[in-house]
Amino acid sequence: MYRLKITDSFSASHQLKGYKGKCESLHGHNFKVELVLEGEKLDKLGLLLDFKILKKILTDVLEKLDHKHLNQIPAFSKKNPSAENIAEFIFKELSRKLPKAVKLCEVCVWESDQAGACYYK
């Protein structure tokens, strides 16, 4: 089994409705996103998936979030855009776009260097 891991980032604002603290107010983060995927077979070049392709897929997903107010994105109309829910959103979006030869294992979203949340199946 082989695993690949990449990171990227995006900037966005959000607010956690019903939080009863500072995070209920509009604020922003420079979010860091990490993802891990796995597969069993390498191609003839010895690659599970070209990093260039993987980065492009992740960039396309993050474009939906970058420099946006996350509460206004339809995926977060009924739930807070918490790090946990953002990780789930990215996971589901990526899962639809990846080749069948690889499996997405985990997506982690970091709001800061000290605080992050992961989603996996």
66 labelled catalytic: yes
* Active-site residue, from 24, 40, 43, 67: 67
> How far apart, in Å, are the Cα atoms of 38 and each of 35, 52, 56, 100, 116?
10, 16, 17, 11, 22
* Active-site residue, from 34, 38, 66, 84: 66
* Active-site residue, from 24, 27, 40, 60: 27
23 labelled catalytic: yes
27 labelled catalytic: yes
* Active-site residue, from 8, 23, 34, 69: 23
Query: What is the SS3 string spanning the chain?
Result: CEEEEEEEEEEEEECCCCCCCHHHCCEEEEEEEEEEEEECCCCCCCCCCCHHHHHHHHHHHHCCCCCEEHHHCHHHCCCCCCHHHHHHHHHHHHHHHCCCCCEEEEEEEECCCCCEEEEEC
8 labelled catalytic: no
14 labelled catalytic: yes
* Active-site residue, from 88, 93, 111, 118: 111
* Active-site residue, from 14, 88, 93, 118: 14
- Which residue numbers are catalytic? 14, 23, 27, 29, 66-67, 111
